Amino acid sequence: ALTTNVYWKFLKANGIDKELERVFKKFNPKDIKSLQETGKKSRGLILRGKMPEDLERGILQAHQKLEEMYGRDVRVAVRTSGVCEDMPKASFAGQFESYLNVRKEDLIRIIKRCIASTFSDRAIAYRYDKKVDQLKFGLSIGIIKMVRSDLASSGIMFSLDTETGFKNVVLINSIWGLGEMIVKGRITPDEFYVFKPTLNGKGLDGRTYRPIIKKKLGRKTVKYVYAKDGGIKEAKVVGSQQLKFSLTDNEILTLAKWAVIIEEHYSKKFGKWTPQDMEWAKDGETGELFIVQSRPETVHVHSEGAARVYEEYKLETSKKPILTGIAVGERIGRGKVHIIEDVSKIKEFKEGEVLVTKMTDPDWTSIMGMASAIVTDEGGKTCHAAIISRELGIPCIVGAGKATKVLKNGQSVTVDCSNGLNGRVWEGNISYKVKKYNLEKIPKLKTKIMVNIGAPEAAFKTSFLPNGGVGLAREEFIIAQNIKVHPLALIHFDKIKDKRIKKKIEEIAVEYKNDKKEFFVRKLAEGVSQIAAAFYPKKVIVRFSDFKTNEYRQLLGGELFEPLEDNPMLGWRGASRYYDPKFESAFALEVKAIKIARQEFGLKNIAVMVPFCRTVEEGKKVIKLIEKYGLKQYKDGLNIYVMCEIPSNVVLVDEFLDIFDGMSIGSNDLTQLTLGLDRDNGRIAYIGNERDKAVKEQIAKVIKACRRRKKYVGICGQAPSDYFDFAEFIMKLGIESMSLNADTIIKTILKLTKKK
C-alpha cells in the first residue's frame, strides 16, 4: 500500500504542490471550461513529474515480494483511495482511476496516472460540491494481486435495497468477467435479492433456509478480460453463457452471509447502522470468492434515527408515456431535453435541463448535479448513472433503449420515477403533487390497518407506511406481469402445436429449458416472497389466484385452455377451479410456490386464503388439495382463511369457520351478489353500494360470528377508504383489520382518528 505520505512526497519532490496552488487560484467552479482547463493543467504537472528514487525502489521491492508469493510476472490491480473517500455523506466512488492487470514494467507509470486522477474534472467538481479542500485532499494507492475474475464473474453487492433503503435484504449484481463492465452500464447484470432475517435460520426439518427471494437474469453480451500485454480488453460472451446466471445459488448465499458480517462489523465499529456498498470477485482458476472492497452506503444511512418522512408523488395525467425504462429513486422531474452524445460536449449543458444520453461514466459527474432529470439508453440499477443520481436525489431512468432517438432536443418532458421500478417519460410539463408525512406523528388505531398489494416491486417502499401487515397479497399481478404465461401452457408445453406460442414461451422462460413448470413455481414463489419479506415478521395473507376465464385467456396460451363464458364474473373461478381435474395440476404449482416461500426461504409469516368458495364442501376439497401438494393447515403455524364474498359464506358462516381459520370480507363481490348485479355491467354499477342495509347486515353477522369463535376477521375492499361512515361502522363492530391500498392508508388513518 502507498499511503498519502507517498502522494505528498511525490508532489513536494517535483514542486507540484506550489504549482497547484497557482493553478487553483484561477479556478471558477461555476464555469465548465475553467473546470476542464484546471483539471488538464493539474494532471499535466503530475504526469510530467518523476517518481523519487527511494520511493520507486521501495515500490519495486514490494512487488518482488508479491512475485515470491505468487510467481513471476504476477499481475496486479492498482486501486486508489482518498483520505476523504467514503465519508458518511460522500462516497467519491468512481472519482479516481484504478487499473487492472498491470505488469511490473508498467507499475510506476500507472501509479503516476492514479495520482493524476486526483485532479480529474469529475473529482474536482465532486470535491467542490462536497466542500472538500482541493489541495488538502490526499490519495493513497493499494496494489493488490489480481483475482482472475476475467475467467469467472464479479460484481457489486449492497447490504440493503438501494432504491428504498429497506434494510432486510442483500442486493447482489453479477456479470461475467471483470467488474468494470457494470459501471460502464453497457450490460444489465444478473440481480439477486437475499432475505437477511432467515439467512442463517433452519426449518423444522433441520435444513438451513436458502432465502434467495429474487433471481433475475441480466443481459450479459460482453465482458472485460485480460489483454495480453497488460490492461483489459472487451470480449463477447458466448450465447450459452448469456442465458446462464453468473453465480450459483451457493455462491449467492455465501456472498450474502459475508455482506451481513461486514455490515455488522462496521455498524459495531461506528456505533450505528452502517450499511455497506461492496465489490466482489470470483477467481476462475481456484473457484474462490473474494470481497475486494467495502465502503459505507451513503444515500440511506442517514435515515436511521432521523424523523421518518414518507413522500408521496402523484402525477396527474391520463396520457400514455412516450418512453419507459428502469426508474432510479422515487421522484418526478421536468425540463427541456438536452441530448449529449459525447462527454466532450458536456460544457453545452445548462442547469435545469433533462440530460439524455446513451450512458454516463465518471467523466459526466460534473454536470449531473445540474440536471432536473436524467434518461439513458443503457444501464441497470447499479450503473454509474443510477449510482450518482441516487446519491444526488435526481430522478433518473436507465435502460430506456431508444431515449436518444425518441426524445428531441428542446422538447419539454416529465420524467416520473414514482411508480416503483417502472420509469416513465411523458411529453410536456405534467402537473404533479407531492405530499410529505411525518410517520412519527401518524396516530395508531385500535383496528389494525393492513395493506392490499399485488406488485412485488412496490413492497419494500410500501412497508415503510404505518401498517399491521398485508391483508391481501394478490397472486394475479405476479402471474400477469412476471410470469405472463397460462400455467397449463407451461405444464403441457410439449403438446402445444402453435409454433408462435411455443416460441414466445421459450423466450419468456429462457432460464428453464427442461422444466417449464418450474418457471411458474419459482417466479410466483419469488414474487410472493418479496412481499412477505418486506413486511416480515408481520402476517402476509396471500390469496390464491382468482382470475376469471376472460382474464386467464389474456395470458399467453390461455385461449388453448379457457372456455368462453357469457358471465365470467359468476363462472369458473376461485375454489371451483382448484379441484377441477382440468385445472388441479395448475393449482398444485401455486401451492408448491407457497411451500418454497415458507419452507425454503423461511417466510413463516405467510398465510393463505381461498377466494370465491361457494360451498363448505368446496372448502374441504381445497384444504385437502393444499395438504396433498405439501402444505398442512396449522403445521408450522400455517393458517388457511377464506374470502367472505358470497351470501352462502354468510348464511353458513359457522360451518365455514369450522374448517377455515378466519374470514376476509370481500365487500365488492359480496355487494354485487347480495344485490343481484354484475359489477362489470356499467349500466347498473351505480346500484352497487357497500353501505346498503342488506350488505351491512351480512357484514355485521360475519364480524360477530368470527369474534364469537375467536377467529380472524378483516376486510380487504375499498369501502373503508371511500366511505368513512362505513369504516366507522365496522370499527364499532370490532373488526380485527382493514386492508387498504397503499395510497389511501395515511388519509384513512387520519380521518378515522378524527371520527373516533
Q: What is the pLDDT of residues 169-210, one digit of tens each?
A: 999 999 999 998 887 777 889 999 999 999 999 887 788 999
Does residue 443 register a pLDDT over 70? yes
Give the pLDDT mean for 696-720. Answer: 93
pLDDT at residue 218, rounded to an integer? 92
pLDDT at residue 681, rounded to an integer? 67
Cα 76 to Cα 2, 104, 336, 625: the distances in Å are: 14, 8, 45, 59
Q: Is 114 a residue of the active site?
A: no
- Tell which wins on pLDDT, 412 or 381: 412
Together in a domain, 239 and 336 = no
Cα 707 to Cα 133, 629, 661, 662: the distances in Å are: 67, 31, 12, 10
- Residue 203 domain-assigned? yes
Give the pLDDT mean for 15-28. Answer: 94
pLDDT at residue 281, rounded to an integer? 97
- Residue 136 domain-assigned? yes
φ/ψ region of 439 (left if φ > 0, alpha if ψ in -120 to 50, else beta) reads alpha
Most confident residue range from 70-74, 289-293, 392-396:
289-293
pLDDT at residue 329, rounded to an integer? 84
Q: Which of 159, 255, 249 lies closest to 213 in space, CA to CA?
A: 249
User: To 5 degrees, how large is the angle CA 107–CA 113–CA 114?
Assistant: 90
Q: Which residue has the cell 422531474?
A: 333
- Residue 473 domain-assigned? yes
pLDDT at residue 15, rounded to an integer? 95
pLDDT over 70, % of the chain = 97
Together in a domain, 211 and 241 = yes
Which of residues 437, 472, 488 is at a domain's end?
Answer: 437
Does residue 719 register a pLDDT over 90? no
User: Which residue is catalytic, options 300, 338, 384, 486?
Assistant: 384
Task: Using pLDDT thresholds of 50, 70 and 90, give the confidence band for residue 421.
Answer: confident
Per-residue model confidence as pLDDT tens digits over 305-341: 555 777 788 888 888 999 999 998 889 999 999 999 9
Together in a domain, 482 and 336 = no
- Residue 308 domain-assigned? no
- Tell which wins on pLDDT, 137 or 353: 353
Does residue 388 register a pLDDT over 70? yes
The whole-chain average pLDDT of the chain stands at 91
d(Cα 396, Cα 423) in Å, to the nearest integer?
A: 8
Give the pLDDT mean for 390-408. Answer: 91
Neighbours of 464 (CB within 10 A): 16
8-state DSSP, 320: P
Together in a domain, 24 and 89 = yes
**Which residue type occupies 242?**
Q
Contacts of 618 (CB under 8 A, 6+ apart): 575, 576, 579
pLDDT at residue 304, rounded to an integer? 61
Which of residues 252, 279, 303 is at a domain's end?
Answer: 303
Cell output for 443: 396516530
Task: Using pLDDT thresholds of 50, 70 and 90, give the confidence band for residue 679.
Answer: low
Query: How many independent structural domains does the chain possess?
Result: 4
Together in a domain, 17 and 91 = yes
d(Cα 266, Cα 251) in Å, to the nearest integer?
A: 23
Does residue 509 register a pLDDT over 80? yes
Together in a domain, 299 and 378 = no
CATH number (domain holding residue 228): 3.30.470.20
d(Cα 191, Cα 185) in Å, to the nearest integer?
A: 14
d(Cα 422, Cα 372) in Å, to the nearest integer?
A: 19
Q: Is 706 a residue of the active site?
A: no
- Residue 442 domain-assigned? no
Torsion (CA) 600, 601, 607, 612 in degrees, nearest 10: -70
Q: Which of 150, 181, 152 lies closest to 75 in space, CA to CA?
A: 150
* Torsion sign over Cα 513, 516, 518, 521: positive
Together in a domain, 516 and 645 = yes
Together in a domain, 511 and 635 = yes
Give the pLDDT mean for 407-423. Answer: 91
Which of residues 437, 458, 491 is at a domain's end?
Answer: 437
Beta strand 737-741 pairing with 396-398: unpaired
Give the pLDDT mean for 297-302. Answer: 77
Together in a domain, 465 and 593 = yes
Transcribe 538-593 into DSSP letters.
Answer: S-EEEEPP---HHHHTTSBTGGGT----S-GGGSS-THHHHTSTTTHHHHHHHHHH
Transcribe 82-148 into DSSP letters.
Answer: ETTTTBTTB--TTSS--EEEE-GGGHHHHHHHHHHGGG-HHHHHHHHHTT--TTS--EEEEEEEPP-
Per-residue model confidence as pLDDT tens digits over 238-275: 988 999 999 999 999 999 999 999 999 999 999 999 99
- Residue 90 domain-assigned? yes
Together in a domain, 273 and 363 = no
d(Cα 672, Cα 338) in Å, to the nearest integer?
A: 52
Q: Which of 339, 321, 409 lies closest to 375 in space, CA to CA?
A: 339
Cα 624 to Cα 122, 296, 587, 591, 613: the distances in Å are: 64, 50, 12, 12, 14
Q: Which of 414, 442, 347, 502 lies closest to 748 in space, CA to CA?
A: 442
pLDDT at residue 577, rounded to an integer? 97
Does residue 715 register a pLDDT over 90? yes
Helical H runs in 693-744? 693-708, 719-722, 724-732
pLDDT at residue 680, rounded to an integer? 66
Together in a domain, 322 and 432 = yes
Q: For residue 275, what are the domain limits?
A: 150-303
User: To 5 degrees, how large is the angle CA 418–CA 421–CA 425?
Assistant: 60
Per-residue model confidence as pLDDT tens digits over 61-95: 999 999 999 988 899 999 988 765 444 454 445 57
Does residue 751 register a pLDDT over 90? no
CATH number (domain holding residue 708): 3.20.20.60
Which three-class secondary structure state does DSSP give residue 720? helix
pLDDT over 90, % of the chain = 70
CATH number (domain holding residue 389): 3.50.30.10
CATH number (domain holding residue 20): 3.30.1490.20
Together in a domain, 580 and 673 = yes
- Residue 114 domain-assigned? yes
- Residue 554 domain-assigned? yes
